[in-house]
Amino acid sequence: MKGPVLICGGAGFIGTNLAARHLSMGQRVLVLDNMSRAGVERNMESLRREYGSLVEFDAGDVRDQRTVRRCIREATSVYHFAAQTAVTTSLVSPRDDFEINALGTLTLLEELRLSGKQVPLVFTSTNKVYGNLDKLAVRRNGSRYEPQHPGVLANGIGEDWPLDFHSPYGCSKGSADQYVLDYARTFGLPNVVFRMSCIYGPHQCGTEDQGWVAHFLIQSLIEKPVTIYGDGCQVRDALYAEDLVNAMLCASRNAPSLAGQAFNIGGGIRNTVSLLELLDLIAEVEGARPDVRFEDWRIGDQRYYVSDTREFERATGWQPRISVREGVRRLHSWLTTTYRAPAAQEALRQGVA
């Protein structure tokens, strides 16, 4: 029987969506996840309930060499999502952030190198490798910022934008990003890097620190205020999880020809939204705009980041298909079904869900 697809951090939001796609095609999936993120237990329960013995689970840690060696032994492809994902957490615990993001990634790369196998690896990096983009002049246009640079306004930030790691999180993810690329260049591993923007969709346990689209929707559902850091005119390109999964499948299938390349992945110039505009979309689906509180800007916040996805589109033919309005509607529907039950709502209010 064909070996499993290995998803490191596979009980998280992106991992669960990717695992479900592979499992729905009859492919075995091995989820490696230490279950440290709140809410991921529900994701594993959902996968097991739906797909039974096709999904395997290892509760180890990507930093543990023996665990990683065991998990890659029969893997036919690898996706690496295991990470500390919040800038704020990295400021409190920089060493933990480094060990999870940088050392964990190096451990995985070394075991893949030593295995002698040519196994496709797709690694999720972040747009934070470009820093806070303070050299990108922006102007305010109504409820959003827009860049004054005509090329960026037309197409977004390309892969040739200078790297400029900000915050311990930016440094740890940036280091991992560069190691993944160099192991492709130096050791010939078929590695592909996705520098991702705003990803949202089902199974996302959104918080203030990570997953802001889901967080805003959840706060609205449980009738709690939304805190906006800055003025709310920050713009991101939002990519629905289904579209991201399509991109990841493309990258894994084409890993030999894409190896050693980093791609900016997000909704692109056609799927931009500011924080204030998201509140308007929530009002459309929820019937009321959430209450809002404003706080000071946070370290490393980008006023404008939109991915120029043309390089990946040219290489694979992939394009986002789901608009922000449609994606928010779908996520709202999923969250309503998942979190509007009385027990779930109470758990959310108490901060335990």
Chain mean position to CA 198? 7
Of residues 347 and 54, the one with the higher pLDDT is: 54
Q: For the segment 302-324, what is each residue's pLDDT rounded down to a tens digit?
A: 999 999 999 999 999 999 999 99
pLDDT in the model for residue 340:
60
Contacts of 45 by beta carbon, 8 Å cutoff, 6+ apart: none
In this prediction, residues 218-232 reach a mean pLDDT of 93
Contact 162, 136 (CB under 8 A): no
Give the global pTM: 0.93
Which of 130, 169, 179, 200 is flagged as catalytic? Answer: 169
pLDDT in the model for residue 285:
94
Least confident of 83-87, 101-105, 126-130: 83-87
Q: Which of 75-89, 193-207, 240-254 has the highest average model confidence (pLDDT)? A: 240-254
Contacts of 215 by beta carbon, 8 Å cutoff, 6+ apart: 206, 207, 208, 226
pLDDT at 351 over 60: no
Q: Could you please state the CATH topology (level 3) that the domain comprising 83-349 is classified under.
A: Rossmann fold (3.40.50)
169 included as an active-site residue? yes
Q: Return the residue matching tokens 């992106």.
A: 14
Question: What b/e string do you get for 266-297 counting C-beta neighbours within 10 Å, with b at 16 or more?
Answer: bbbbebbbbbbbbbebbeebbeeebeeeeeee
pLDDT at 227 over 90: yes
pLDDT at 114 over 80: yes
Least confident of 36-40, 65-69, 159-163, 280-284: 36-40
Q: For the segment 180-203, what is each residue's pLDDT rounded down to a tens digit?
A: 999 999 999 999 999 999 999 999
Q: What is d(CA 80, CA 228) in angstroms, rounded to the nearest whole number?
A: 30
pLDDT in the model for residue 346:
52
In this prediction, residues 209-229 reach a mean pLDDT of 91
* Confidence grade of residue 343 (pLDDT, cut at 50, 70, 90): very low
pLDDT at 240 over 80: yes
In this prediction, residues 1-7 reach a mean pLDDT of 91
Q: Return the residue matching tokens 């892969």.
A: 159
Q: What is the mean pLDDT of the chain?
A: 93
Contact 162, 129 (CB under 8 A): no
Of residues 1 and 336, the one with the higher pLDDT is: 336
pLDDT in the model for residue 353:
40
pLDDT in the model for residue 54:
97
